């Protein structure tokens, strides 16, 4: 099979390209490296089954030769990334998605959209199943990402209904692992980098907000299963083990054997309070469930970051003090006072 992967030079996309090559597929990666890193795919560039098409998929998503599937992952994903690129984020969710859908339609190929748990916004229903329609502020700062993905889902569904394209939608919940950009500002990469450097961990708000973290290998296995099937979705892909941000900080400090303190910053606007996927649909329709526990996954992630001390030093100045206009409150709390996810 020949698979086009938009955003294939990013964190998730590069792992996906690698996994597809490993099982014998040919891969065409389309990326403009706006938030990705050529280093992510440097080790597969010489593979004859791999091809890189450098460019902005919001302008064009053309490849030479036939493709059997298109996995559309191109989009800024970290909040600091999409807040810094609001128009590009909306463009890739709309025009970029349409270009990728057209590519799939022309080749009668399977199309899989990498959507997100952000379509649920700051959810009023907990945990989140695919039947929940979400609670998104359409004019808040995060809307450039949330609404772009919601539009991308609508467009994907319209191609299925009206054009007969074989589409599928996965809603990805917070995923972490090796190759996250050390300065991407996401909570896992930031905490690991800060803990390894012995710098304070930047906790936003009171740290009692929750997320559910999925290890990248589990997620990629889910996307590949979706590529291989005709399931329309949407299907949640994530690890339903829910942690507060404080619990995550505690885990990272323990695994890195760091003496780093916590430093509290203001909470970003519209930051979702709770997030946990219901994964019954993924289990029933794809036979998928996550296998890597949070401690194991974090240990692998810590090892990867620890092997890149220069990258950590470069990243620290970018993530020190937070990237979201947050103001340091100067409030510090000992680890003993951490609260658990209810
Ligand atoms: P990432 O920023 O590492 O990767 C995105 C890739 O897309 C980058 O390589 C970037 O250069 C590329 N890209 C962005 N705009 C582009 C454009 N217009 N044309 C061509 N390439 C473009 O982020 P990621 O975490 O790997 O996320 C990949 C996808 O998964 C995104 O669509 C994201 O919304 C989705 N997702 C990720 C998570 C997560 O936790 N990692 C959660 C939910 C959804
Ligand atoms: N967060 C934090 N410190 C950081 C980065 C993020 O406390 O240095 C919080 C953030 O406010 C959110 C959670 O961690 O509540 C997850 O943030 P991330 O940016 O990783 O993902 P998202 O908000 O998109 O789920």
CATH class of the region 2-175+213-237: alpha beta
Start-to-end C-alpha separation, the chain: 45
> What HEC string does 89-115 produce?
HHHHHHHHHHHHHHHHHHCCCEEEEEE
Q: Which ligand is nearest to the CA of 315?
A: 2
Atom of ligand 1 nearest to the CA of 9: 9
* pLDDT value for 120: 98
Residue 335: pLDDT above 50?
no
* pLDDT value for 317: 75
* pLDDT value for 38: 98
Residue 324: pLDDT above 60?
no
What is the mean pLDDT of the segment spanning 9-18? 98
pLDDT digits over 277-298, tens only?
999 999 999 999 999 999 999 9
Atom of ligand 1 nearest to the CA of 149: 34
Q: Which ligand is nearest to the CA of 73?
A: 1
187 CB near ligand 2 (under 6 Å): yes
pLDDT digits over 192-230, tens only?
999 999 999 999 999 999 999 999 999 999 999 999 999
State phi, psi for 63 to the nearest 5 degrees.
Answer: -135, 150
Angle, in degrees to the nearest 10, between helices 245-256 and 294-306:
60
Poorest-pLDDT segment among 63-77, 102-116, 147-161, 322-336: 322-336
pTM of the full structure: 0.95
| Helix%, strand%, coil% for the chain, nearest 5 | 40, 15, 40
Distance of CA 34 from the midpoint of ligand 1 (Å):
9
Q: Are 157 and 99 in contact (CB under 8 A)?
A: no
Residues recognised as catalytic: 145
268 CB near ligand 2 (under 6 Å): yes
β-sheet bridge partners, residue 52: 29
Angle, in degrees to the nearest 10, between helices 11-22 and 216-228:
60
Atom of ligand 2 nearest to the CA of 77: 24
Distance of CA 36 from the midpoint of ligand 1 (Å):
8
Distance of CA 205 from the midpoint of ligand 2 (Å):
10
308 versus 70: the higher-pLDDT residue is 70
User: In terms of Cα–Cα distance, which of 128, 129, 146 is closest to 137?
Assistant: 146
Q: Going by DSSP bridges, is the β-strand pair 26-31/175-176 parallel, antiparallel, or unpaired? A: unpaired
* pLDDT value for 172: 98
Q: What is the CATH number of domain 178-212+241-331?
A: 3.90.25.10
What is the mean pLDDT of the segment spanning 127-133? 98
What is the mean pLDDT of the segment spanning 125-133? 98
Q: Assign 10 to helix, strand or coil.
A: coil
Q: Which residues contact 241 (CB under 8 A, 6 or more apart)?
A: 212, 213, 293, 294
β-sheet bridge partners, residue 50: 27
Q: Are 28 and 2 in contact (CB under 8 A)?
A: yes
Tell me how far CA of residue 313 lies from CA of 35, 78, 185, 196, 199, in angstroms.
19, 20, 14, 10, 11
* pLDDT value for 320: 62
Domain positions in the chain: 2-175+213-237, 178-212+241-331
What is the mean pLDDT of the segment spanning 255-273? 95
């Amino acid at each position: 099979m020949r698979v086009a992967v938009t955003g294939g030079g990013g964190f998730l996309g590069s792992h996906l390209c690698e996994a597809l090559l490993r099982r014998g597929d040919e891969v065409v990666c389309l990326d403009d490296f706006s938030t990705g890193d050529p280093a992510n795919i440097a080790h597969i560039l010489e593979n004859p089954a791999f091809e890189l098409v450098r460019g902005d998929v919001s302008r064009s998503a053309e490849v030479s030769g036939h493709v059997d599937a298109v996995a559309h992952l191109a989009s800024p994903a970290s909040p600091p990334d999409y807040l810094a690129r609001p128009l590009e984020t909306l463009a890739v969710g709309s025009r970029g998605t349409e270009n990728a859908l057209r590519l799939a339609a022309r080749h009668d190929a399977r199309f899989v959209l990498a959507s997100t748990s952000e379509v649920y916004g700051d959810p009023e229903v907990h945990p989140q199943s695919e039947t929940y329609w979400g609670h998104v502020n359409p004019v808040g700062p995060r809307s450039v990402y949330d609404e772009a993905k919601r539009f991308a889902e609508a467009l994907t569904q319209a191609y299925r209904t009206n054009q007969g394209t074989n589409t599928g939608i996965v809603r990805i919940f917070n995923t972490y692992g090796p190759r996250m950009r050390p300065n991407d500002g996401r909570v896992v990469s930031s905490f690991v980098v800060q803990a390894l450097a012995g710098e304070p961990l930047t906790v936003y708000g009171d740290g009692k907000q929750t997320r559910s973290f999925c290890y990248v290998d589990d997620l990629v296995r889910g996307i590949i299963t979706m590529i291989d099937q005709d399931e329309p979705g949407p299907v949640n892909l994530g690890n339903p083990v829910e942690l507060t941000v404080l619990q995550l900080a505690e885990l990272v400090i323990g695994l890195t054997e760091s003496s780093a303190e916590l430093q509290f910053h203001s909470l970003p606007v519209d930051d979702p309070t709770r997030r946990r996927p219901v994964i019954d649909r993924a289990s029933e329709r794809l036979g998928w469930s996550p296998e890597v526990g949070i401690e194991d996954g974090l240990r692998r992630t810590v090892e990867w970051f620890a092997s890149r001390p220069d990258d950590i030093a470069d990243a620290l100045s970018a993530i020190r003090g937070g990237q979201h206009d947050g103001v340091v409150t100067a409030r510090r709390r000992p680890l003993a006072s951490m609260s658990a996810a209810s």
